[in-house]
Every structure is written in structure tokens, then in C-alpha cells.
Amino acid sequence: MKDRYLDFVNSSFGAGFARSIGLPKPEVLRRHRPDRPEFGGIVAIGAGPSPALFDPLIDVLQSIGMTSVAHGSAEGWLPRANRHGAMSGRFEPHRRDSVASDRVEALIFDATGIADSSELGAIYGFFHDALRSVARSGRVVVLGRPPETRADPRAWTAQRALEGMTRSLGKEARGGVSSNLLQVAEGADIEGALRFFLSPRSAYVSGQVIRIEAASVTRPADWSRPLEGRRALVTGAARGIGASIAGVLAALGAHVTGVDVPQASDALDQTMLAIEDQSPSGGAHAALVADIAAPEAPAELAAALLAMGGIDIVVHNAGITRDKTIAKMTKDAWDSVIDINLSAQERIDDALLAQNVLHDGGRIVGVSSISGIAGNLGQTNYATSKAGVIGRVSSMAGVLRARGMTINAVAPGFIETQMTAKIPFAIREAGRRMNSMSQGGQPVDVAETVAWLASPASAGISGQVVRVCGQSLIGA
């Protein structure tokens, strides 16, 4: 689905026209392209008192090849970077009259040591000086601690306050700049999350608060193919977001088994063949036709996957909508949406776990929705099912921890698909513009987020719901 408005205001004629009459001009977001380097340019570093993450930060920036400049608040950064043999310098704010391009690609603030509300001035100081200096499609990342891990209520409070800052920055920054808060537990590995949030892969993820726990992390041998050799199951893979998830997982090295219903078997075959064609090393991809809601589906899926040697990743993407206000909704519309979007996931996971089809260290990712968070008119069935997916994530995270497995959900906002193309114009335009990016997301934005959660490097991330919504206004 094309966003004609976005195309228009970014055309040479349209840009001038929009400017002359004061129309908003959504940024064309920078997304991952295999022919372009994923990282590059300069990161500006700020910090509150006693920052704990300078060393791992310097390591990650070195490993992705970004250069740092230190804001005045980041005391001690320069000597530390020098000790690691990393290039670094002092932050100079972007000046409007400067000829040279002096913008930075990202702003990172280490707030881990902030232990009292009176210390929050440091984060003001950094973003006051630096927010205007960030480039288009740039990144803001705030690093804090999970608030409840601070014994002192004042430290807990100050850490929780960072959410208001990070979300406000996401709403103030323009030009496709995202802003996210990573709550890093002591001893947690930040590389996987930092790579995701600094890269173009997280283009449409903003205003999110992500918790990273200490866990035994296997860093991929090749960060460009973190899923190398992993086997993945993707339901609803024939089209739209599911097809994109299958494609991204395969591009990152996974062997993907795509599942869809009999009616979609031709589309599924085409999708999986296209993925096969694009797999350089010839991944072992497969198309599996099954109605996931059928009573026999869990056992059949388990048997088929076991015959392939089991799997490492399950993505529950299959879902349907049957919208009506509740007074007009049929019993069948309720039952089928709950069953396909929620109960089927439960039955399938139970079968995969009981028979050890999902390997230890496995990853489960469910697809929830903004409607599951905020509720929606005409979607009592859909919103209930998608709130249930969130419940699944929180209820299963503890159960799965002992086996080194994680379970998380993505909650897409307005994504440009065949489904959203059918929404009436005015409502579609409102959905597209009511977010910090002033545009809908692409299926690939959801797929990239799923792939990040499915990575071996994401072992410390479980029980979470990551919105892929361009920081939609809508929430609860």
C-alpha cells in the first residue's frame, strides 16, 4: 500500500507546495538496505552522575564502527575511550550557519547512575544542547535501570521519571528521529539492543521502554546473520506482515517454515519461493499448509517440525479481524477471532513445548496490536485476543526462563498493508498521521523487530511488548 501523501510532499514539486501552504512533511524513513552500511557517523554521548555503561558502550560503538563525541555532562568519557583505543572528541552543537554537515547520527545518554529527582537536570542539559544536532532518521537512546531494581525509592522514582523524558523527546524530535529508553539490569548485555536501536532496522519503533535482564547471551559470530542456521516457524506467512517476517528471518540466516491456511497456499508457495531465491546460501525453507485453528493442528505441526529436527523460533503472526460493534457481532465472529488469534497460539505452544520441538534457548514472538493495549471501537473480539497475547507473554516468561527461552510480543500500530488499505480514507489518514513519524509503518518494520527479539543476542529480553507504531498517540 502506498502512502501517496508522503510520496507527494517528498517530491520536488510537492515539497515546495507543502512548504508554501504549511502542510506537514513526513520524513522518508531510512530503512535497512543490504547495499548500504548499517552503521556509520558520529554518536554524541551524555551522562548523569556515576554512569555505569561507558565501557560496554565504547565496546559496542567500536564494534559497529561509530565515532563518539562527548558532551560536557559525560565526564570521563574521553580518557576512557582513549584507553580502549577508540576515536573520540568533544561534542559541538550543530550551528545553523555552519557549512559543514556537523549533525550526529545518534544521541546516547547514560542515566544509569541517576539516583534522585534532583539529578535529572543532567539529562535536560544534554538534550537541551544536543537534540537539534541529530540528523534525519537519527536516534535517541536513553540508558537507565529497571526502576524496581533500585532499593531506594528516590532512585526508583528518578529512573521511572526517565520514561516521561524519553517519550517527550520522541514527540519533539522531527525528521524521523526515534527515542527509546533501555532499562538495563546490572550485568545485562546491551549490544544486541543497542545495535537494533541504533540501526535503520528500528525505523518505526519509538517511544518504547525496553527492559534488558542479565542473561547468558550468545553473541552471533556474524552480526549481519545473527540467525544463521536457526530454524523458524512463522504462521500466516503467505502475505503482508507474515511474509515480511519470513523474509527478514531468512535474510538474517534462518531456515524458515512458513505456515498458512489452504486458501492461501498459492500465495504461501510464491512467498517461500521468493525467499528461497533470495537466500544466498540456500536456506532450507519450507511451506506448510495448515489451519492452525484445527484441533489436530498442534500435533501435526509438532510432528512435521520434529521431523525437520525441531525449531528455535516460533512467530505467532496468523490473525484475523471480524469487526462489528458488540451488539451486532455474531457468536461466530467472536469465537473465530479469539480462537485463531489467541487460543491457537496456546495450543500450539503447549504441543511444541511438551514434545521439546522448540529447543532450549528458543524464542517465541507473538503479534499483538495497539488495539490490544488501548481497546478499539468495533473490535471487542480482536482487542480481547490481542490483550490476551500480552497476557501470554507475561504469563509464560517465567515458565520459559529455566529453559533459556524468551517470549515477547510486538504490537503494530498503523502498518501499510492490504488490510489497512481497506480502511475508509479519513480514518486511514488519521491513523497514519497520529504518530511521531506522521506516517504509517511498513510490514518490514514489524518484521525487523520480530527478528531482533528472535536473535540469540536477545536472551535478556523476555515478557515484553514492543510497539511498532512510530510512537502512535493512541494508548492506555
Question: Which region among 42-50, 148-156, 300-308, 421-429 touches a copy of itself (by CB under 8 A)?
Answer: 148-156
Name which position in 40, 79, 121, 309 contacts a copy of itself (CB under 8 A).
121
C-alpha cell at 423: 480502511
* Binding flag, residue 158, a copy of itself (CB under 8 A): yes
Question: Which region among 23-31, 157-165, 284-292, 408-416 touches a copy of itself (by CB under 8 A)?
Answer: 157-165
- From CA 425, how far away is CA 111, in angstroms rounded? 43
Name which position in 22, 34, 85, 153 contacts a copy of itself (CB under 8 A).
153
C-beta closer to a copy of itself: residue 317 or 385: 385
Look up cell 548500504; give the residue. Answer: 36
C-beta closer to a copy of itself: residue 118 or 418: 118
C-beta closer to a copy of itself: residue 1 or 185: 185
Name which position in 273, 299, 326, 421 contacts a copy of itself (CB under 8 A).
326
* Binding flag, residue 339, a copy of itself (CB under 8 A): yes
- Per CB under 8 A, which of residues 434..453 are in contact with a copy of itself? none
Task: Answer yes or no: 382 catalytic.
Answer: yes
State the helix-helix crossing angle for 344-354 and 297-307, rounded to 10 degrees. 40
Question: Which region among 36-44, 48-56, 151-159, 268-276 touches a copy of itself (by CB under 8 A)?
Answer: 151-159
- Per CB under 8 A, which of residues 369..398 are in contact with a copy of itself? 371-388, 390-392, 394-396
- From CA 451, how far away is CA 307, in angstroms rounded? 24
- Selection from 270, 248, 278 nearest residue 31 by Cα: 248
Question: Which region among 67-75, 97-105, 142-150, 190-198 touches a copy of itself (by CB under 8 A)?
Answer: 142-150
- Give the dihedral sign, CA 384/389/392/393: negative
Shortest Å distance, C-beta 58 to a copy of itself: 26
C-beta closer to a copy of itself: residue 257 or 380: 380
Name which position in 124, 229, 266, 427 contacts a copy of itself (CB under 8 A).
124
DSSP state of 339: I
DSSP H or E run through 209? strand 209-212
C-beta closer to a copy of itself: residue 127 or 223: 127
Name which position in 7, 75, 148, 186 contacts a copy of itself (CB under 8 A).
148
Task: Answer whether 412's CB lies under 8 Å from 367's CB.
Answer: yes
**Which string of b and e fits 57-94 if b means at least 16 CB within 10 Å?**
bbebbbebebbbbbbebbeebbebbeeeebebeebeeb
C-beta closer to a copy of itself: residue 215 or 434: 434
- From CA 363, how far away is CA 212, in angstroms rounded? 15
CB within 8 A of 476, min separation 6: which ones? 373, 374, 375
- Selection from 145, 116, 114 nearest residue 46 by Cα: 114
C-beta closer to a copy of itself: residue 43 or 373: 373
Question: Measured between alpha carbons, how far is residue 388 from residues 373, 409, 475 in Å?
Answer: 10, 11, 16
Shortest Å distance, C-beta 395 to a copy of itself: 4
Mark residues 227-266: x for contact with a copy of itself by CB under 8 A, - for none: ----------------------------------------
C-alpha cell at 111: 542515566
* Binding flag, residue 404, a copy of itself (CB under 8 A): no
Beta bridge partners of 45: 70, 108
Beta strands 209-212 and 104-110: pairing type? unpaired
Name which position in 50, 82, 117, 356 contacts a copy of itself (CB under 8 A).
117
Amino acid at site 382: Y
Name which position in 68, 73, 166, 183 contacts a copy of itself (CB under 8 A).
166
Task: Answer whether 125's CB lies under 8 Å from 73's CB.
Answer: yes
How many other CB atoms are there within 10 angstroms of residue 227's CB atom? 25
* Binding flag, residue 423, a copy of itself (CB under 8 A): no
Shortest Å distance, C-beta 353 to a copy of itself: 11
Q: Say whether 143 sits in a helix, a strand or coil.
A: strand
* Binding flag, residue 342, a copy of itself (CB under 8 A): yes
Active site residues: 382
